[in-house]
């Protein structure tokens, strides 16, 4: 871990001089303390449009989400759709 100063500041030191982590702590909480100060708030969940995982930046459409409906169309329906397209033009 590169950023030991943040952990020392957040949890303090024990008698041996190492960081005194709580008995139970998840990796997600540790990574929020480690990387959270750069993004704004380390203790709360990352939220808002300014976070790196916001959906505003990722506006690409994934073809895998629509694959189930892509090939389940019957052949008769395809013929009808194809004929309707010809008659409209």
Distance CA 80, CA 63 (A): 25
Sequence spans of domains, the chain: 4-62
Note the pTM of the prediction, 2 decimals: 0.32
Average pLDDT of the residues in 4-25: 80
pLDDT at site 4: 77
Rg of the chain taking only CA atoms, in angstroms: 26
Half-sphere exposure of 30 (CA within 13 A, CB side): 15
pLDDT at residue 79 greater than cutoff 80: no
Query: What is residue 46's predicted lDDT score, i.e. its pLDDT?
Result: 56
Q: What is the dihedral of CA 44, 48, 54, 56, to 10 degrees?
A: 180
How far apart are the C-alpha atoms of 39 and 55, rounded to whole Å? 16
Tell me: the pLDDT tens digits for 18-77? 887 777 777 777 777 777 766 666 566 555 555 555 555 555 666 666 665 555 555 555
Q: Given pLDDT bands bounded at 50, 70 and 90, which one contains residue 12?
A: confident
């Amino acid at each position: 871990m590169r950023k030991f100063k943040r952990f020392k500041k957040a949890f303090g030191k024990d008698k041996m001089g190492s960081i005194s982590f709580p008995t139970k702590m998840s990796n997600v909480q540790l990574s929020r303390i480690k990387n959270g100060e750069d993004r704004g708030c380390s203790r709360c969940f990352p939220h808002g449009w300014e976070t790196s995982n916001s959906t505003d930046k990722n506006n690409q459409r994934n073809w895998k989400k629509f694959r189930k409906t892509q090939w389940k169309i019957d052949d008769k329906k395809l013929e009808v759709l194809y004929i309707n397209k010809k008659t409209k033009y």
